[in-house]
Amino acid sequence: MNVPELPEVEAARRYLHERTLGRRIEGVIVLDPKMLEGDRDEFVSKILRRKVIGTGRHGKHLFLLLDRGALRIHLGMSGSVHLIGDDESTSHQRLRLRLDRGSIVLNDPRRFGRFQYVDGILPFVKERGLGPDALSISEDDLVSGAGGRKKAIKSVLLDQSILAGVGNLYADEVLFQERISPWTSTASLDDDDLSGICRRIGEVLNASIAAEGDLSSLPKGYLLKDRRRDGRCPRCGQELRTMVVGGRTTIFCPSCQR
Protein backbone atom coordinates (compact mmCIF):
# COMPACT_ATOMS: atom_id res chain seq x y z
CA MET A 1 0.00 0.00 0.00
CA ASN A 2 1.30 3.46 -0.89
CA VAL A 3 1.70 6.06 1.83
CA PRO A 4 -1.14 8.57 1.27
CA GLU A 5 0.23 11.70 -0.39
CA LEU A 6 -1.59 14.58 -2.06
CA PRO A 7 -3.06 12.55 -4.97
CA GLU A 8 -4.43 9.91 -2.61
CA VAL A 9 -5.88 12.58 -0.30
CA GLU A 10 -7.49 14.31 -3.29
CA ALA A 11 -9.02 10.96 -4.29
CA ALA A 12 -10.40 10.60 -0.76
CA ARG A 13 -11.84 14.12 -0.92
CA ARG A 14 -13.63 13.38 -4.19
CA TYR A 15 -14.91 10.09 -2.79
CA LEU A 16 -16.45 11.81 0.23
CA HIS A 17 -17.77 14.73 -1.81
CA GLU A 18 -19.74 12.43 -4.10
CA ARG A 19 -21.25 10.44 -1.24
CA THR A 20 -21.78 12.71 1.77
CA LEU A 21 -22.82 16.15 0.50
CA GLY A 22 -25.98 17.35 2.22
CA ARG A 23 -26.02 14.57 4.80
CA ARG A 24 -26.13 15.07 8.56
CA ILE A 25 -23.88 13.55 11.24
CA GLU A 26 -26.22 11.71 13.61
CA GLY A 27 -23.61 9.95 15.75
CA VAL A 28 -19.91 10.24 16.59
CA ILE A 29 -17.76 7.42 17.96
CA VAL A 30 -14.09 8.18 18.72
CA LEU A 31 -12.53 4.71 18.74
CA ASP A 32 -8.92 5.85 19.15
CA PRO A 33 -8.62 8.98 21.36
CA LYS A 34 -4.85 9.10 20.78
CA MET A 35 -5.49 10.08 17.16
CA LEU A 36 -7.81 12.93 18.18
CA GLU A 37 -6.28 16.39 18.55
CA GLY A 38 -8.32 18.07 21.28
CA ASP A 39 -10.85 17.09 23.91
CA ARG A 40 -13.15 14.19 22.99
CA ASP A 41 -16.34 15.60 24.50
CA GLU A 42 -15.79 18.98 22.86
CA PHE A 43 -15.02 17.31 19.53
CA VAL A 44 -18.21 15.26 19.63
CA SER A 45 -20.38 18.22 20.62
CA LYS A 46 -19.03 20.39 17.80
CA ILE A 47 -19.65 17.98 14.93
CA LEU A 48 -22.75 16.12 16.17
CA ARG A 49 -25.90 17.10 14.23
CA ARG A 50 -23.85 19.16 11.79
CA LYS A 51 -24.63 18.99 8.07
CA VAL A 52 -21.97 18.23 5.43
CA ILE A 53 -21.92 21.18 3.00
CA GLY A 54 -18.71 20.41 1.13
CA THR A 55 -15.21 18.98 1.18
CA GLY A 56 -11.76 20.53 0.95
CA ARG A 57 -8.08 19.73 0.87
CA HIS A 58 -4.89 21.65 1.54
CA GLY A 59 -1.72 19.70 0.95
CA LYS A 60 -2.20 16.32 2.61
CA HIS A 61 -4.96 17.56 4.93
CA LEU A 62 -8.53 16.49 4.14
CA PHE A 63 -11.53 18.53 5.30
CA LEU A 64 -15.17 17.65 5.66
CA LEU A 65 -16.85 21.06 5.58
CA LEU A 66 -19.81 21.40 7.93
CA ASP A 67 -22.53 24.01 8.29
CA ARG A 68 -20.39 25.24 11.17
CA GLY A 69 -16.66 24.55 11.15
CA ALA A 70 -14.99 21.51 9.64
CA LEU A 71 -13.57 18.08 10.41
CA ARG A 72 -9.86 17.87 9.56
CA ILE A 73 -8.37 14.45 8.79
CA HIS A 74 -4.75 13.57 8.13
CA LEU A 75 -4.35 10.05 6.78
CA GLY A 76 -0.84 9.59 8.16
CA MET A 77 1.07 6.57 6.82
CA SER A 78 -1.81 4.14 6.23
CA GLY A 79 -5.14 5.88 6.70
CA SER A 80 -8.17 5.68 4.42
CA VAL A 81 -11.81 6.77 4.55
CA HIS A 82 -14.83 4.62 3.76
CA LEU A 83 -18.59 5.00 3.59
CA ILE A 84 -20.12 1.77 4.84
CA GLY A 85 -23.44 0.41 6.06
CA ASP A 86 -24.53 0.70 9.68
CA ASP A 87 -24.06 -3.05 10.19
CA GLU A 88 -20.58 -3.08 8.58
CA SER A 89 -17.13 -2.35 9.96
CA THR A 90 -13.51 -2.13 8.83
CA SER A 91 -10.53 -3.88 10.37
CA HIS A 92 -8.87 -0.82 11.93
CA GLN A 93 -11.60 1.71 12.70
CA ARG A 94 -10.37 4.85 14.51
CA LEU A 95 -13.31 7.22 14.00
CA ARG A 96 -16.88 6.46 12.99
CA LEU A 97 -19.44 9.09 11.98
CA ARG A 98 -22.98 7.78 11.67
CA LEU A 99 -24.93 9.62 9.00
CA ASP A 100 -28.64 9.57 8.26
CA ARG A 101 -27.73 6.65 5.98
CA GLY A 102 -24.52 4.67 6.55
CA SER A 103 -21.33 5.74 8.31
CA ILE A 104 -18.05 7.45 7.45
CA VAL A 105 -15.14 5.46 8.87
CA LEU A 106 -11.51 6.46 9.24
CA ASN A 107 -9.49 3.24 8.96
CA ASP A 108 -5.81 3.37 9.94
CA PRO A 109 -3.74 0.25 10.73
CA ARG A 110 -0.59 2.11 11.77
CA ARG A 111 -2.35 4.88 13.74
CA PHE A 112 -0.22 7.77 12.46
CA GLY A 113 -3.31 9.60 11.22
CA ARG A 114 -4.97 12.48 13.08
CA PHE A 115 -8.39 14.13 13.20
CA GLN A 116 -9.85 17.21 14.87
CA TYR A 117 -12.51 19.91 14.69
CA VAL A 118 -11.31 23.19 13.16
CA ASP A 119 -13.03 26.51 12.50
CA GLY A 120 -12.17 26.31 8.80
CA ILE A 121 -9.46 25.59 6.24
CA LEU A 122 -7.88 29.04 6.15
CA PRO A 123 -7.56 29.39 9.95
CA PHE A 124 -6.00 25.93 10.13
CA VAL A 125 -3.53 26.69 7.31
CA LYS A 126 -2.51 29.94 9.00
CA GLU A 127 -2.16 28.32 12.43
CA ARG A 128 0.04 25.50 11.09
CA GLY A 129 2.13 27.85 8.92
CA LEU A 130 1.48 25.86 5.75
CA GLY A 131 2.58 27.14 2.38
CA PRO A 132 0.39 27.25 -0.74
CA ASP A 133 -1.18 23.99 -1.85
CA ALA A 134 1.23 22.13 -4.12
CA LEU A 135 -1.42 21.49 -6.77
CA SER A 136 -2.18 25.19 -7.21
CA ILE A 137 1.04 26.96 -6.18
CA SER A 138 2.11 29.65 -8.65
CA GLU A 139 5.57 29.90 -10.12
CA ASP A 140 6.04 33.26 -8.40
CA ASP A 141 5.10 31.77 -5.02
CA LEU A 142 7.59 28.93 -5.39
CA VAL A 143 10.37 31.24 -6.56
CA SER A 144 9.79 33.66 -3.68
CA GLY A 145 9.44 30.88 -1.11
CA ALA A 146 12.32 28.65 -2.18
CA GLY A 147 14.74 30.93 -4.01
CA GLY A 148 18.09 31.55 -2.38
CA ARG A 149 17.81 28.79 0.22
CA LYS A 150 20.97 26.79 0.78
CA LYS A 151 19.18 23.52 1.55
CA ALA A 152 19.05 20.68 -0.98
CA ILE A 153 16.17 21.09 -3.40
CA LYS A 154 14.71 17.73 -2.28
CA SER A 155 14.46 19.05 1.30
CA VAL A 156 12.90 22.30 0.10
CA LEU A 157 10.20 20.43 -1.82
CA LEU A 158 9.33 18.52 1.36
CA ASP A 159 9.14 21.71 3.46
CA GLN A 160 5.41 22.13 4.09
CA SER A 161 5.88 25.81 4.99
CA ILE A 162 7.01 26.47 1.39
CA LEU A 163 4.48 24.30 -0.41
CA ALA A 164 2.00 21.93 1.18
CA GLY A 165 1.42 18.44 -0.11
CA VAL A 166 4.57 17.14 -1.82
CA GLY A 167 5.77 13.99 -0.09
CA ASN A 168 8.86 11.85 -0.50
CA LEU A 169 7.72 9.83 -3.53
CA TYR A 170 6.52 12.77 -5.58
CA ALA A 171 9.53 14.92 -4.73
CA ASP A 172 11.71 12.18 -6.26
CA GLU A 173 9.49 12.03 -9.34
CA VAL A 174 9.47 15.81 -9.89
CA LEU A 175 13.25 16.03 -9.72
CA PHE A 176 13.67 12.98 -11.94
CA GLN A 177 11.41 14.48 -14.59
CA GLU A 178 13.31 17.79 -14.39
CA ARG A 179 16.70 15.98 -14.49
CA ILE A 180 17.86 17.74 -11.32
CA SER A 181 19.94 16.03 -8.66
CA PRO A 182 17.99 15.84 -5.36
CA TRP A 183 20.85 17.29 -3.31
CA THR A 184 21.45 20.29 -5.60
CA SER A 185 21.59 23.43 -3.49
CA THR A 186 18.43 25.42 -4.10
CA ALA A 187 20.53 28.59 -4.08
CA SER A 188 22.28 27.38 -7.24
CA LEU A 189 18.99 27.15 -9.14
CA ASP A 190 17.79 30.24 -11.01
CA ASP A 191 14.20 31.45 -11.38
CA ASP A 192 13.75 29.52 -14.62
CA ASP A 193 14.83 26.29 -12.90
CA LEU A 194 12.35 26.84 -10.07
CA SER A 195 9.59 27.77 -12.51
CA GLY A 196 10.24 24.52 -14.37
CA ILE A 197 10.05 22.59 -11.10
CA CYS A 198 6.75 24.31 -10.29
CA ARG A 199 5.23 23.32 -13.62
CA ARG A 200 6.51 19.77 -13.17
CA ILE A 201 4.92 19.53 -9.71
CA GLY A 202 1.51 20.17 -11.25
CA GLU A 203 2.16 17.76 -14.09
CA VAL A 204 3.28 14.91 -11.83
CA LEU A 205 0.50 15.37 -9.26
CA ASN A 206 -2.21 15.60 -11.91
CA ALA A 207 -0.87 12.49 -13.64
CA SER A 208 -1.06 10.55 -10.38
CA ILE A 209 -4.57 11.83 -9.66
CA ALA A 210 -5.62 10.68 -13.14
CA ALA A 211 -4.05 7.27 -12.40
CA GLU A 212 -6.20 7.09 -9.23
CA GLY A 213 -3.21 6.19 -7.07
CA ASP A 214 -2.19 3.21 -9.22
CA LEU A 215 1.50 3.97 -9.77
CA SER A 216 1.76 1.26 -12.42
CA SER A 217 -0.71 3.28 -14.51
CA LEU A 218 1.47 6.39 -14.63
CA PRO A 219 2.78 7.48 -18.05
CA LYS A 220 5.78 5.77 -19.60
CA GLY A 221 9.04 7.20 -18.34
CA TYR A 222 7.88 7.80 -14.78
CA LEU A 223 10.24 6.77 -11.98
CA LEU A 224 7.36 5.80 -9.68
CA LYS A 225 6.27 2.97 -11.97
CA ASP A 226 9.22 0.93 -10.67
CA ARG A 227 10.82 2.96 -7.87
CA ARG A 228 13.04 0.54 -5.94
CA ARG A 229 16.60 0.25 -4.75
CA ASP A 230 17.75 -2.12 -7.49
CA GLY A 231 15.55 -0.64 -10.22
CA ARG A 232 16.58 0.70 -13.60
CA CYS A 233 16.13 4.21 -14.91
CA PRO A 234 13.11 4.27 -17.25
CA ARG A 235 14.91 6.84 -19.38
CA CYS A 236 18.48 5.57 -19.83
CA GLY A 237 18.43 2.09 -18.29
CA GLN A 238 21.19 2.76 -15.76
CA GLU A 239 20.81 1.31 -12.28
CA LEU A 240 19.10 3.68 -9.89
CA ARG A 241 20.89 4.75 -6.72
CA THR A 242 19.61 5.27 -3.21
CA MET A 243 20.85 7.91 -0.79
CA VAL A 244 19.47 9.81 2.19
CA VAL A 245 18.70 13.48 1.63
CA GLY A 246 17.37 15.48 4.55
CA GLY A 247 16.68 12.29 6.47
CA ARG A 248 14.53 10.82 3.68
CA THR A 249 15.29 7.84 1.46
CA THR A 250 15.88 9.19 -2.04
CA ILE A 251 16.02 7.22 -5.29
CA PHE A 252 17.50 8.85 -8.37
CA CYS A 253 19.37 8.25 -11.62
CA PRO A 254 23.03 9.30 -11.36
CA SER A 255 23.22 9.66 -15.14
CA CYS A 256 20.07 11.67 -15.84
CA GLN A 257 20.10 13.76 -12.67
CA ARG A 258 23.49 15.43 -12.60
Residues annotated catalytic, as ranges: 4-5, 60, 248
| Phi, then psi, of 172 in degrees rounded to 5 | -60, -45
Q: Considering only CA atoms, which of 188, 155, 159 is closest in space to residue 172?
A: 155
Q: Which residues contact 162 (CB under 8 A, 6 or more apart)?
A: 131, 142, 145, 146, 156
DSSP class of residue 193 equals H
For residues 169 and 252, what is the distance between their CA atoms, to the nearest angstrom? 11
Q: Which residues contact 2 (CB under 8 A, 6 or more apart)?
A: 8, 169, 213, 215
Tell me if 108 sits within 8 A of 79, measured CB to CB. Answer: yes
For residues 33 and 90, what is the distance between their CA atoms, to the nearest angstrom? 17
Order of strands across the sheet that contains 70-74: 52-58, 61-66, 70-74, 114-118
For residues 38 and 26, what is the distance between their CA atoms, to the nearest angstrom? 20
